Amino acid sequence: MAQPQTESHPTEAVHPRARNGAIYADYDPSNPPPHPGPGYTRFVCLSDTHSATFEVPDGDVLLHSGDLSNHGSYSELDVTMKWLKELPHPVKIIIAGNHELPLDNDGGWYDSNWHSFAQWLKIDKQDPAKIRSLVSETPGIVYLQDQQHTFRIRDGGREWTVYGSPWQPWFFDWAFNYTEDQAQDIVSKIPEVDILLTHGPPRSIFDRAIGDRHVGCPALLSHLSKMQKPPLLHCFGHIHEARGALVHVWNSPSSTSEETAGEPLIEEIGGGEAGTPARDVRETIMVNAANMPLKRSERCGGPGHQPVIVDVLDSAQR
């Protein structure tokens, strides 16, 4: 089995098989691993495509964790939405990222800040309502902005729950930023669901930026760790250089130790097949699915930046 790409970090250990599924982050894009068949749902994870288009492996569910464009213009997003619409996945779910500037306007942020980006990026003011319609009304694509959604792949099949949030800690005045003081209010809205999409990563999980800085959200990590039933799969992006996937095992949410309560434990699951019983184990498959490379010589979605494939048992329990 192809091994997932990971950060080199002494507290992280990875195995490509969780008790609930399998991860493929490093594979030949022209020859992806075969679908495991009935009883599994294949999730194909994308993020940070920035209006680039490329070959995407087939699957049951396409997940896109934001930065669909470079600056959220209608013309850029139109390219992305047409590309996504033509992909064969029966279910497609997307969120915005910090580059989708006009979509951050529920509180008037874009109307108040567009002029600074217009001068810098040499772009005209966009129509937020028109762009919101484009991403939320394209047939066959579900757009989530601090919203929950349920879906089934097939009649009588498992009902999956998913929540999407475009936010991340403050990042150079781009869209969907929050300060440390605002973090708890935003992440506390995230419910217990099967699948979680956020644009930004949780703290210390594929969040290492240039300069060896961890830029993920501590409040998000803490919120997830305290859930009785954390997500089976958490997809994010934002930090291009930290692409990777791992199985994250959480400690007990009832821990009373001040030093460990709410803190995660990341460890190797072991060599068992998917579905191997594990007593009192709460685990989440964590995926930084960023497709855009830092090097101009490398191709968005190409080798080393291809979509991450996650096969999850339909019978998986959180």
User: For residue 16, is pLDDT > 80?
Assistant: no
d(CA 306, CA 292): 9
Q: The whole model's pTM is what?
A: 0.88
What is the band of 75 on the pLDDT scale with cuts at 50, 70, 90? very high
Length of the chain equals 318
Average pLDDT over residues 271-300: 77
Within a domain: residue 33? yes
Instruction: Name which of 88-97, 120-129, 191-200 the model is least confident about.
Output: 120-129
pLDDT above 90 as % of the chain = 77
Q: Is residue 34 part of a domain?
A: yes
What mean pLDDT value characterizes the chain? Answer: 87
**Which residues are CB-contacts of 10 (< 8 A; sequence separation ≥ 6)?**
none
Whether 2 maps to a domain, the answer reads: no
Query: Which pLDDT belongs to residue 271?
Result: 29
Q: What is the pLDDT of residues 197-209, one digit of tens each?
A: 999 999 999 999 9
Rounded-to-5 percentages of helix, strand, coil across the chain: 20, 25, 60
How many folded domains does the chain comprise? 1
Question: Residue 65 maps to which CATH number?
Answer: 3.60.21.10
The pLDDT of residue 296 is 86
Task: Establish if 114 belongs to a structural domain.
Answer: yes
Domain that holds residue 270: 17-313
For the cut 70, the answer to whether the pLDDT of residue 165 exceeds it is yes
pLDDT attached to residue 122: 85
- Asked if the structure places residue 218 within a domain, the reply is yes
